[in-house]
Chains A and B, each alone.
Chain A
């Protein structure tokens, strides 16, 4: 067993994380691009037509990654916010702020692509069922988090207030996830579960690789954004002066 100690806490200082993030984001950007290109090829060109939904089902290749990531990014954001609230670490609040805009964009894409899928398949752009309504609430939670942060001038106080909002809002995530099972919704259940998939292998690959691409993309955007936030909030530290000159 490798017992070499890694000094994880070294990276929890904004200064060290700034440089670490700067070295990491280009790799995630390359991975996101390559994965997205392969996933697009599989999803749009290789995957077979769906027996019930024809070619219209291909919206799944952007809808499912956006929707699943919009939920996961929220959990990560709430996790960072809660960690910052509990341990008063500086980087935590910056990470939560860096994740929020990406999460909001993903939540918007989940609703927009879902709407474009709902029209031909259900005959309506929107219906107030449990899955759609809870997904709309998720978008509002992201927007509320961003608005609350920008409305408080002192960043540390803004972190604390918005952390409470993020933690309370986290209860919405299991509701979104469970909505298709607990209530009678127009939205279909999951095509892929731990017990296996109910779709063709090429469809599964296209969806899986695109989800991985979205992950890498979200990480890239968060790292680049958190670097700007770190510089902004640590502007009176000596290292910032050396870093930008």
Chain B
């Protein structure tokens, strides 16, 4: 353990303004990408169901 208390940890030895944005950006990128892949799957499923519906209509 390198830290004596929370404030010391958050201050990062004076580099807080560089260290935390680096980790924060990485976390943000992960969140955005997870949302993006889930949205892509939903979008594909929606267009597939629309396609199947119209095919059903054609065959009747």
Contacts and interface: CB of A to CB of B under 8 A. Distances in A.
Dominant SS at the B interface? helix
Contact of A221 (B9, B14, B25, B37): B37
B45 A55 contact: no
B23 A62 contact: yes
Contacts of B34: 221
Contacts, number: 92
The SS class assigned to the A binding surface is helix
B26 A109 contact: yes
Contact of B18 (A56, A108, A227, A244): A56
Interface residues of B, number: 33
Interface residues of A, number: 38
Interface in B1-45: 1-3, 9, 12-15, 18-19, 21-23, 25-26, 29-30, 32-34, 36-38, 40-41, 43-45
Given A58-B12, A109-B29, A227 B19 contact: no
Interface of B: 1-3, 9, 12-15, 18-19, 21-23, 25-26, 29-30, 32-34, 36-38, 40-41, 43-45, 47-49, 51-52
